[in-house]
Amino acid sequence: MSTVGTRLPFWKSLGWGEAAFEIASPFLLVWAGKWFVGLVHGFGHLLDNDNVGATVVGTLFFGVVAIAGIVGVSMVPEVLRRLVIESACPCCGARRQRTFGDPAKSDASPTECGECLAYLRAKGVEVTEEHADAADLDWLEYALPPERYLPVVKIDNRSHFKFEMPAMCAICGSPDARQHREIGCGSSGTTQDPSRGYDDKLSHLTAPVCKKHSEAEAPSGDVLEYRSGKLMFASYRYYKAFCELNQIGGAKPPVTG
């Protein structure tokens, strides 16, 4: 299934803040560069007692300015190659503007529908659903955020989230999946994020795998991870089967009863 959309100019993918930052970044670099050139010229007097405070503060300030400039400028090629497409979702029909990564890159990430649970890819202006066989044990592209699972999740007697795990290999989908792999921790950074509180309730999960994809035979990467309350899946097929089995709905809420 696929839909055909309209390609929009790349700058449509940028918010106002991001756009302003991109435009300002070359000027930031020049500004910081001028100051550092002045620093080199004035060398010798900089650390005189009168100047040392201004030198230290200026170096810190313009150091930050230079880093911001470098970050902004280095993002430009990536921003220019983004594919911004307005189309209907091939799965649920929701019409939206979506941004896709550089289609020439084999490791470009898929893009969420944003409405239903589907992940999408674009080829030119044609938008298709992610391939069922897609799986990546390093990046775990398919995310189930708490907003999606909280309305339906059950809690067990140790106050863990209780999910049914589809009876198939969490990588290749083989029904002969008699081994298990533990969920990995993908959380990083600040512990202030309130969604981190859900991580503990997800940390006991395991997913079935076939012999070929057991920890012993394919040790690197994870099939499942928790990441600040999000449940991340390596396999698109398994992600979809998991949502279906646990009645986690997208645009169309599951029929109950």
The residues binding Zn ion (CB under 5 A) are 89, 91-92, 94, 113, 115-116, 118, 169, 171-172, 174, 210, 213
> Smallest distance, Å, CB 65 to Zn ion?
42
Collapsed DSSP state (helix, strand, coil) of residue 19 = helix
Nearer to Zn ion, 26 or 175 (CB): 175
* Single-letter amino acid, residue 17: G
Nearer to Zn ion, 112 or 199 (CB): 112
Total residue count of the chain as it appears in this document: 257
What does 163-193 look like in DSSP terms, one character per residue?
Answer: -PPPSS-TTT--S---EEEEPEE---S-S--
> Smallest distance, Å, CB 211 to Zn ion?
8
DSSP conformation class of 194 = G
List the beta bridge partners of residue 119. Answer: 112
> Smallest distance, Å, CB 138 to Zn ion?
16
> Smallest distance, Å, CB 168 to Zn ion?
8
> Smallest distance, Å, CB 17 to Zn ion?
27
Nearer to Zn ion, 116 or 231 (CB): 116
Residue (of 174, 168, 92, 173) closest to 129 by Cα position: 92
Residue (of 121, 169, 164) closest to 142 by Cα position: 121
Nearer to Zn ion, 204 or 212 (CB): 212
Nearer to Zn ion, 213 or 227 (CB): 213
DSSP conformation class of 197 = G
> Smallest distance, Å, CB 127 to Zn ion?
10
Residue carrying the six token digits 């991001």? 18
Nearer to Zn ion, 96 or 162 (CB): 96
Contacts of 83 (CB under 8 A, 6+ apart): 7, 99, 100, 101, 102, 103, 122
Count of CB atoms situated within 10 Å of the CB of 110? 20
